[in-house]
Amino acid sequence: MTALLQASRPRVGGLSLILVLLLLLVDHVQSRPINPYQAPAPVALGSGVAPTAAHCTAP
Amino acid sequence: MTLSPIKPAPRRAALVLLALTVVFLTFATAGPRAALLMLVGLGFGLTLEGLRFGFAGPWRTLVSERDARGLLAQFLAVGLAACVAIPLLASFPTELNGAHAPIGLAMIVAAFVFGAAMQLVMGCGSGTLVNAGSGNAIALVALLGFVAGSFLGTLHSSWWTSFGVLPLLTLQGQFGTAGGLLLTLLGLVVLAALALMRALPGRRLPPRRLVLAALLVALLASLNLVIAGQSWGVVYGLGLWGAKLVSAAGVDLSGSAFWGSAAHAERLSQSLLTDVTSLTNIGLILGAFLVMRWRAVPDPQVAPLTPRSWLVVLLAGLLLGYSARVALGCNVGAFFSGVSTGSLHGWAWFVAAFAGSMLGIRLRPRLLLPLRPTDGSGTGGGR
């Protein structure tokens, strides 16, 4: 653990990416498959659709 | 520590290939909007790390070194983003959402706590992601705490937000679009004047690098709004990451007031590649990593800390996440996006967090102790 915390920046940065990749793998296993036919318009502005994504300000 | 034996040119080509691959895979998996948001996140990471633009660092340097340059660059970025966001929100009210939230007692206290914790780990929401991506060991440990904390915050957020909450107030709602924008800019000018009064000569006007960074951050934040339909945020994605991991461990979150609600339950069941803040957060980490590896010689690692100090970093990360959830955002979601879209809660958040930041600056040298006497690399390296 101590060695890890004193590793070089490339190693710690690489570890960060690996953790993100693991998160995405866990997510892939448990989430509903993405339906490409229900993908939103490339850009919200001009799409005529109200945004449904969540934000930090959401209670 | 040894550096990669790969020569710079092949390494940089590989980095470009990595970025393009990630964007292409996002496009192939989740569609064009997700790919565009991944690009925006990458842009944030490249800008924040490449041009060393941040939030926590400039707050500290204003207080402890009487240096206003970084803070003025922040205000410039917020002001430029406001010039785009407030008129856009007025013109397209059904397609775009600002970062609007009510001012509340718990929100203000939580912003104060966030400000203090931010100075302990030398990174706010975006800063922790960027620092982790650029290989800062303190930030990686803090990020783990941040994810856990922002998830725990969601479990109690309805309880906290029941304390003394004002109605949702925006400057444009009170004074019209032009009036709201002018008051936003005026408020930023007043803050900039206060910072200039505090700063020493030669430490007042931002250098060209920070002006460019402010322009790019404002541009990217505007693109985030236009593409996603909502303002740039960080904390929601981290709380969602925590909820995903807890769910994967078999915990049923449907009984939670937060994750049981329709909107959040939908996000929990959907892929992270469909979540706006997760996409930009991932892009931030990757963008910062690319810059760090692009450099011929990466920055030195932060100085090793005592075991107790590492525990402090983890707990400060936990506090960062928890308080950011209760405060309805961090420097990005509440301050940058809140103020730039006219929300009054962004101003209240800034004042409270800045006060907390002053406490954190005092606590940091007492709580974060290097393992050995300083070797010049310091315990910082954050933003």
- Taking an 8 Å cut-off on Cβ atoms, the answer to whether A46 and B140 are in contact is no
- Taking an 8 Å cut-off on Cβ atoms, the answer to whether B99 and A14 are in contact is no
B139: how many CB neighbours lie within 10 A of its CB? 31
Min Cα–Cα distance to chain B from A2, Å: 9
Probe site for chain A from B22, B40, B95, B144 (most A CB atoms < 10 A): B95
Q: Specify the pLDDT at position B379.
A: 53
pTM, to two decimals: 0.94
Q: Specify the pLDDT at position B377.
A: 46
Pair B379, B137: CB distance under 8 Å: no
Q: Which residues of A touch B5 (CB under 8 A)?
A: none
Probe site for chain A from B11, B227, B251, B252 (most A CB atoms < 10 A): B227
Q: Give the ipTM of the model, two decimals please.
A: 0.94
- Taking an 8 Å cut-off on Cβ atoms, the answer to whether B285 and A17 are in contact is yes
Amino acid at B374: T
Q: Specify the pLDDT at position B96.
A: 96
Residue B245 lies in a domain: yes
**Could you tell me the CA-to-CA distances from B146 to B118, B167, B324 in Å, in that order?**
11, 29, 9
Min Cα–Cα distance to chain A from B74, Å: 20
Q: Which residues of A touch B304 (CB under 8 A)?
A: 2, 5-6
List all residues 6 or more positions away from B192 whose beta carbon is below 8 Å from its beta carbon: B68, B71, B72, B75
- Taking an 8 Å cut-off on Cβ atoms, the answer to whether B274 and A26 are in contact is no
pLDDT in tens, B158-215: 888 888 889 999 999 999 999 999 999 999 999 999 999 999 999 999 999 999 999 9
Q: State percent of chain A over pLDDT 70.
A: 90
Domain ranges of chain A: 2-30
Residue B110 lies in a domain: yes
Q: Specify the pLDDT at position B376.
A: 45
Q: Specify the pLDDT at position B344.
A: 97
Q: Which residues of A touch B269 (CB under 8 A)?
A: 31-32
Question: Closest residue of A to B160, CA-based?
Answer: A59
Q: What is the residue range of B352's domain?
A: 8-367
Number of domains comprising chain B: 1
Q: Rounded to an integer, what distance in angstroms lies between the CA atom of residue B280 and that of residue B239?
A: 14
- Taking an 8 Å cut-off on Cβ atoms, the answer to whether B33 and A29 are in contact is no
Q: Specify the pLDDT at position B383.
A: 64
Angle at B291 between CA B290 and CA B296, to 5 degrees: 110
Neighbouring-strand partners of residue B343: B170
Question: Closest residue of A to B272, CA-based?
Answer: A27
Which segments in chain B show pLDDT lower than 70?
1-5, 373-383
Pair B192, B72: CB distance under 8 Å: yes
Residue B374 lies in a domain: no
Which segments in chain A show pLDDT lower than 70?
1-6
- Taking an 8 Å cut-off on Cβ atoms, the answer to whether B32 and A58 are in contact is no
- Taking an 8 Å cut-off on Cβ atoms, the answer to whether B96 and A51 are in contact is yes
